[in-house]
């Protein structure tokens, strides 16, 4: 950790999706072990009260979602009403990235503090043990939408790529002058084009599947980019989240302009685009969720019911317009009204009842 974000967990409290690697590294740099960061202890199964660092929603199965926390990964089949552990492998383990294989939704990629795992219907397997990625925190995962065997992993030590479903990996860092990658985003209309947001180096772009990278940060006021997202309906439009607010590019990253008017908290950690109306955006900040109906030109607060305001990750449900999940540093929240109101996903009464072995 080079200090770009300050003094680590004591200041920022929790890792966010994409920024997870940054903040976890801050804790490790302060001499904490992975176990101390996760603080594993006997507690309910699920994201209840935990630091939520990643959320993934299954686009093919309504109500199925996954949550990565500072103490493990969990899955729900009923929209977050109840949860089970994704796999015993992840108990007590910081999970900073999740990605679902659209062609085989039962396959889930999990980025952790000790490398990357692949969860399939046949079980869970830690991969990339014999590469430098094996010991790195994986805070970003992107799957090629046209060829799901092609997977990219963003780490604190650069970008890695597999073209055979994780069997073999190659470092893809030529031109990537800052290798602390916080987010990866693939152009859905041209999957060989992808963007890497970094901690301290701004945004980089590759048009050849990660083989070569060039800086793509003209206009950004901060080189610390915590997350980046692409408008799926207009892939030349991108949004970058920095410690100085949100920025928009309308020319595929060539130039950026501020898009933070009304965003009272410039420390934006996460961004989600409405799956049906791409001009509608949601920003998760250190002061709650904000909503924009005009592509980021103006923002209003949309945090009613959000009792924990430090929002680390935002994900829109692609199969349920108006439904979003907000991970915070103390639990997971849900809205079905486009952010007009939120409810915390708490344990049900049935879950509170003692079970054999408890």
Same domain flag for 167 and 273? no
* CATH code, 308: 2.40.10.500
Last residue of a domain, one of 171, 195, 218: 171
> Averaged over 129-156, what is the pLDDT?
87
pLDDT of residue 107: 93
Q: Cα 315 vs. chain centroid, distance in angstroms? A: 9
Q: What are the distances in angstroms from CA 64 to CA 289, 304, 312, 354?
A: 23, 25, 20, 25
Lowest mean pLDDT among 12-16, 143-147, 149-153: 12-16
Last residue of a domain, one of 171, 189, 224: 171
Domain that holds residue 126: 10-171
Same domain flag for 143 and 45? yes
Per-residue confidence band for 273, with pLDDT thresholds at 50, 70 and 90: very high
Q: Supply the mean pLDDT for the chain.
A: 84
- pTM (2 decimals)? 0.86
Same domain flag for 141 and 268? no
Helix, strand, coil tally for the chain in percent (to 5): 10, 35, 55
Q: Output the CA torsion sign for 219, 221, 227, 231.
A: negative
Number of domains composing the chain: 2
pLDDT digits (tens, 9 = 90+) for 6-35: 222 222 333 333 444 444 443 333 333 334
Residue 328 lies in a domain: yes
- Classify each residue of 260-294 as buried b or exposed e, where b means 16 or more C-beta atoms within 10 Å of its C-beta: beebebbbbbbbbbbbeeebbbbbbbbbbbbbbee
Per-residue confidence band for 91, with pLDDT thresholds at 50, 70 and 90: confident
Per-residue confidence band for 36, with pLDDT thresholds at 50, 70 and 90: very low
Last residue of a domain, one of 102, 136, 171: 171
């Amino acid at each position: 950790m080079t200090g770009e974000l300050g003094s680590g967990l004591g200041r920022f409290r929790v890792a966010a999706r994409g920024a997870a690697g940054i903040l976890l590294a801050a804790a490790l740099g302060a001499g904490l072990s992975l176990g101390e960061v996760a603080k594993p202890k006997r507690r309910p199964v699920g994201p209840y009260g935990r630091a939520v660092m990643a959320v993934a929603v299954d686009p093919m199965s309504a109500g199925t979602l996954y949550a990565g926390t500072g103490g493990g990964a969990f899955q729900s089949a009923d929209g977050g009403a109840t949860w089970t552990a994704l796999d015993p492998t992840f108990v007590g383990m910081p999970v900073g990235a999740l990605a679902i294989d659209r062609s085989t939704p039962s396959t889930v990629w999990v980025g952790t503090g000790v490398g990357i795992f692949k969860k399939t219907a046949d079980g869970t397997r830690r991969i990339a043990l014999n590469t430098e990625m094996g010991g790195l925190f994986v805070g970003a995962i992107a799957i090629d939408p046209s060829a799901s065997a092609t997977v990219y992993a963003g780490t604190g030590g650069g970008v890695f790529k597999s073209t055979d479903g994780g069997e073999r990996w190659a470092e893809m860092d030529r031109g990537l002058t800052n290798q602390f990658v916080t987010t990866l985003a693939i152009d859905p209309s041209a999957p060989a084009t992808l963007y890497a947001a970094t901690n301290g180096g701004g945004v980089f772009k590759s048009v050849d599947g990660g083989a070569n990278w060039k800086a793509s940060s003209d206009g950004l006021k901060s080189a610390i980019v915590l997350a980046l997202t692409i408008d799926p309906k207009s892939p030349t439009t991108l949004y970058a989240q920095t410690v100085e607010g949100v920025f928009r590019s309308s020319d595929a990253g060539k130039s950026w302009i501020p898009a933070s008017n009304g965003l009272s908290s410039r420390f934006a950690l996460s961004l989600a685009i409405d799956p049906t109306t791409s001009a509608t955006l949601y920003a998760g900040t250190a002061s709650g969720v904000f909503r924009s109906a005009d592509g980021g030109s103006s923002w209003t607060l949309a945090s009613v019911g959000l009792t924990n305001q430090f929002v680390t990750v935002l994900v829109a449900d692609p199969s349920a317009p108006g439904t979003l999940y907000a991970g915070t540093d103390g639990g997971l929240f849900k809205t079905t009204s486009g952010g007009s109101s939120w409810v915390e996903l708490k344990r049900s009464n049935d879950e509170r009842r003692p079970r054999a072995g408890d």
